C-alpha cells in the first residue's frame, strides 16, 4: 500500500547532519507530551540511534519522514541477529497521524525485512500506546512478552511483539 503523501511530506533513508539529535529530541518531546515520560527516554533513544547511524549495514534501514523539510517521523529496521530484525524508532508527529503514513511505513519496513531474508521481526512498545499496538496486530504481529518496571520516570509495562515472516 502506497501512502498518499501530502505535497510537503517526503521520506528518505539517509541521515543528514543534525538528524540524530533532532529525531531523539522529537521522540523525547512527543512521548513526554503523550505519555508523561521524563528526559531519560530521549537518552534511551539517542544512544542506540547514534550507534545505528554510524554502523548500520546493508540489512538495516531507516525511514526518515520529513514535513516541510523537518523530521516529523521515523521507523527503522535494525539487525538483531542473522535470524531476527528489530523494528525501532517508529514515530509520527501528531499532524501526520491518521493518514495511512504509519501503515505505509510498517508495510515498507516489513517488505525490506523479507527482501533481506529475515525469518522474523520483533519490536518493543509500551502498553499505553494503544493505536500503535492496534497497527502492529493488524499487520500480523503477536504479543509475546510483557515486563513491568520503573523506567522513564514512571512505572511502565513494555510489550514485545513478534512476527514470523
Instruction: Render pLDDT for 107-160 as a digit per residue (tens, 0 to 9).
Output: 999 999 999 999 999 999 999 999 999 999 999 999 999 999 999 999 999 999
Residue at grid coordinates 529475515: 118
Instruction: Return the closest-CA partner of residue 35 out of 120, 111, 106, 132.
Output: 132
Ramachandran quadrant class, 152 (left: phi over 0; alpha: psi -120 to 50; beta: rest): left
Give the phi and the psi of residue 56 in degrees, each rounded to 5.
-70, 155
Average pLDDT (65-85) is: 96
Stretch (H or E) spanning 71: strand 70-79
SS3 call for 90 = strand
Task: Please tell me the pTM assigned to this model.
Answer: 0.94
| Beta strands 61-67; 9-12: pairing state | antiparallel
Task: Give the chain's domains with CATH numbers.
Answer: 9-119 (3.40.630.30)
SS3 call for 159 = strand
SS3 call for 111 = helix
CA atoms of 143 and 133, how far apart (whole Å) = 9
Mean of the per-residue pLDDT values of the chain: 95
Amino acid at each position: 500500500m502506497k501512502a498518499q503523501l501530502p505535497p510537503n511530506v517526503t521520506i528518505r533513508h539517509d541521515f543528514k547532519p543534525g538528524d540524530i539529535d533532532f529525531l531523539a529530541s522529537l521522540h523525547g518531546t512527543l512521548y513526554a507530551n503523550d505519555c508523561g515520560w521524563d528526559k531519560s527516554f530521549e537518552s534511551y533513544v539517542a544512544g542506540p540511534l547514534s550507534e545505528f547511524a554510524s554502523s548500520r549495514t546493508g540489512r538495516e534501514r531507516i525511514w526518515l519522514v520529513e514535513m516541510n523539510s523537518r523530521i516529523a517521523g521515523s521507523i527503522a529496521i535494525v539487525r538483531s541477529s542473522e535470524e531476527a530484525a528489530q523494528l525501532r524508532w517508529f514515530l509520527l508527529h501528531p499532524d501526520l497521524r491518521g493518514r495511512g503514513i504509519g501503515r505505509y511505513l510498517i508495510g515498507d519496513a516489513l517488505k525490506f525485512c523479507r527482501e533481506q531474508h529475515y525469518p522474523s521481526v520483533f519490536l518493543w512498545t509500551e502498553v499505553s500506546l494503544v493505536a500503535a499496538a492496534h497497527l502492529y496486530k493488524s499487520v500480523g504481529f503477536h504479543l509475546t512478552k510483557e515486563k513491568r518496571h520503573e523506567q522513564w520516570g514512571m512505572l511502565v509495562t513494555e510489550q514485545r511483539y513478534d512476527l514470523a515472516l
